[in-house]
Structure 1
Amino acid sequence: MPQRPARDGLPVDGVRRAPATMPRGFYAVDPDPTGTPFVPSQDQDSFIPAYPGGPSMDNEGIEMVSGGPRNTLLLHPEDMPDLSWLSTGEVNCCGAPGDMGPNRGCRCGAPIGTEMSECYTPYELHLVPGAVAER
């Protein structure tokens, strides 16, 4: 798993988002939980979000972290241009925060992954384990 790039808040290629976690043409298996459901952080006093600057939630003063699937396939979002956007209603000012479940689907509409591309999240695509197969 590569280290997620530091985020300085400045535009990248004219877009306000972090540099991609994965270079184009490569993938990694992410052992950490990704996406929904979100669960209370076990240590509320020294809270660290699931991804630095990435999907985490504050639920009325309770810090929440990802309790989603482990071992997702992590890709550069632009490596899967044929995926459709699912209507999860989660596109913000700069992109998708990835905090409402899978937001990318195959042509048939089946949800297969979650893209994170908001200005305060990592820039990456996680494919749901079991939703894709190697050819």
Structure 2
Amino acid sequence: MSAYQKMLVAIDLTEEAPQVLEKAKAVCSAHGAELVLVHVVEPVGYAYGGDIPMDLTELQDQLDKAAREELGKYGDQYGVAKDQQIVTVGRPESEIHRLAKEHNADLVIVGSHGRKGFQLLLGSTANGVLHGTECDVLAVRIH
């Protein structure tokens, strides 16, 4: 029996996502594990501190739709079934923690950018995921 049965890979839909997905697919194949592909869309109100006196629902819906389409392309390219592709709205760290529990993931895979100081090894999202996830976390170094 493999150490990992279900892996959750969280990507940000940038041009760097394939680096994370390539590593995730390799680890997944090596363990014969199931892969769940996740993208978290931050609420539009977060960018403005929630202080905008207007309805941002339509904009949020457009962002969600675009994210689903883009995640679907990655899912198709990397052989992840539609029912294992998840787009959700919220704070990335919190949503990744919730989804890892909900899907009984035993490994979470995220990308990590190099930073200065304390964030040298992990970006803020990867660091937040590491410190709140109950399963193992693999931070893939983004070049």
Shorter chain as denominator, the TM-score bin is under 0.3
TM norm structure 2 = 0.24
Structure with max Cα Rg = 2
- Larger helix proportion of the pair: 2
